[in-house]
Structure 1
Amino acid sequence: MAGVADPASDYKRAVEASFKQWLEGLWPEAEAAGISRATFDKQLKGLKLDWSLPQLTPPDPAYPGGPALPDSMKPKPKPQAEFGVPQNYFKASSLNALAGSGRAKYRQLAPTLKAIEEQYGVPASIVLAIWGRETGFGRAALPYDAVTAIATQAFMGRRADEFRPQLIGALQIIELGHATRQMMKSSWAGAMGHVQFLPGDFEEHAVDFDGDGRRDIWRSVPDALASAGNALRSQGWDGNQPWAYEVTLPKNFDCTLQGPDQSLPIKEWIDLGVRRVNGREFPQDRLGDWTFLVLPAGMKGPAFLATTNFSVLKLYNNSDVYAIFVGHVADMIAYNTPVQFVGTWQPVERFTRDRVLKFQEVLVSQGHDVGKVDGLVGFKTRQTIGKEEKARGLPLTCYPSHALINQVLK
């Protein structure tokens, strides 16, 4: 009916007006970063928020004294997301498909990949595995405009403070002529190009490897892959180490010894009964290397002694299973074989992420350090689970169980 107020439309108009003022307030920061007023106005004038992006926290009210967030726009209750079971990340079909494509890309791009490996000291197989994981070797659709996505996240995303400098970085890319706005297609979080760099990654690590005078991670595969290699090297990749060693643990091993805060030289892990799989020996010249134990599924899955390179892969994407996935696919590419984990992914109990989050919150209230309280089971949460299992006389697994969570939540 004509004249009937639409709270959602009124609210969005108010937020867009506040967003316009916020964008203008970025000018001193942009100017200090070397961005011209012409570029600033052209790229940000009339920019609208992308309300479809995930992980947004719209302001309530729209601005102090402005319209409240309408009930119709408040998040609707959803079926609670299930906490990801580690085994699901390692389906044989996905691993084999990526490794097969990676080997084909290696044959196609061998001279370039060998040159990247020689210059940056990062195996071609690792670079290929990252490319495959991030964008399916450039085939993945990147449907978002990076400037819009980053600006939206910087204004009302959950990690707004982290995205604000990325918006300035995106404008710098355009200002310096590295890419046009049309080229800068991204994920919902603003990650761009073949190897998914944020603007800050581009500034720090992008290189011109094909020699055309441009650092082009969008259209130049050599530039993109070399940029990934440069990023890994710059963050500490050690060309003399593997990413990790799969290992077996002795019976009744204390799984709370996992995590980078409990690193030991390989020779000391050997003294504790840790062995490489398939009867292989650790390299004699690496026995002094400091490594740490990674148990992504606690005692219910494969075990790994992780090197510095594992930690470098986590700087690319802060996830144990991401680092294991990339490293494992890289091994499959390098050895031209369907490499299998020796350790078995055993069935595990399933939980909603919300329940794991509540479990973590209670553990923190009891004085435990579980790392980030996010409903995900990182190494500190796994350590704490093991400590609680010991204290409560439960089987030691270092992985969540209904028996433990029920006791803790009581």
Structure 2
Amino acid sequence: MFASAAVIFLQNLQQDDTTLSNHQQRFNKLLQDIQQISYKVHIHHLREDTDLETTLTEFLKLHDIVITIGNLTEELFTAVAKVYDEHWTDDCKETSREINEDSDSSEYKYFQIITEQQNHILKLHRFYFIESDCVDLDFTQLLKQLNSFTRKPVYSKVFHYNKSDKRANEFVDKLISRENGVRCKKLTENEVIVSSGSIEEINALHQHFVDSYEVENSFVLDEYEEEILNSPCIFIQEAIQYIKECFDLYKPENVFICFNGGKDCTVLLHLMMLILRTYYSNFNRPVFCMYVQSKKPFPQVTAFIDKLKKYYNLDVHTLTLGIKDGLAAILQDKPNLKACLMGTRRSDPFSANLRHFQATDNGWPEIMRVSPLLDWEFAHVWDYLLSFKVPYCCLYDEGYTSLGNVDNTLKNPQLLNEDTGAYYPAYRLLKSTKERSGRM
């Protein structure tokens, strides 16, 4: 959970201390509001002659969120691009030009517009940019976004049970009467929704329902469904469209997902389940997952996959063969399968030139590979996981950024805090080109 925000006032060289103090006071209400949503706010002042790239890099290493207040200049955006990835520089420069020319553009490749008023507040992953002359703006949307990172997670599941099962009704009544722990609410006479901040608690309840009562069906109900479906992020919207296109072309029952517990396929699984529930509600069978298990998997990865298997009601098929032979065996057993959803991104090995829909190569079992996250960056993945409280493997909080197996994966040296010897969590990694630095 995020806890720290650096607020940076970018000051002109001509500003004296009095002018600077007055400028900061104009934003005091915003600073107080940020503190109210559980951030510890650190205020800094930077002059125009500061080495922005170096300074902003240090701030992002120390804080979860960085907010700059000042002129949205090309120098600022170029510095920020270099903090993350050099290839963003051209888009950042173009964004700066459009803003300063009062362009009415409503969409940029990497930047997200937070306010509907003339580009006053922009977001680029853990950076937020506020123009210094927009103190009178409504900051509701900004605070809502910041709050998404600090809010407590809520996990919910709906159970359909036999309404004539007296014991089930008595158990549901007990859950409803609880004052602490799991929240429970009846939706219909044979349908109940349970919610908790713990997936383990939801899974335990699921197991109790299945073992003790006549459960006809159950499914996950995402707390942040509307936020995701209506997200202004073009990468999320494109992924949703590719997944829907896949289901429309091949039908949900003929699609499976390749899931190994990593961050990318965790995002994909979450999106897939949300889309199935929203647009294909008649599909009520377990989703088939292909898990290609390495020779020495991390125990934490195995435990995480098992946790999501129970939570999402997944049909997980574990392959210990090579992926080619394993895929052939799956298709022989399930010849109806036509397409595989994959969490591949262009930064993955041998993936730079992939298409979103691409058939397997010659000599491989025939299947359509569908990669909805192909154009996502490392930071997009973490934006999604953290903002929408998607459960992910605990190894990412320990300094791992790319998961292989016990023998070929180390904590990413880019995340080492040399002062303490501890490692920052994966989302603190800045350069996506260093994502696989822990792989041997």
Q: Which TM-score applies when normalising by structure 1?
A: 0.28
Q: Which TM-score applies when normalising by structure 2?
A: 0.27
The structure showing larger relative contact order (alpha-carbon pairs under 8 Å, at least 6 residues apart) is 1
Structure (1 or 2) with the greater strand fraction: 2
Structure (1 or 2) with the greater helix fraction: 1
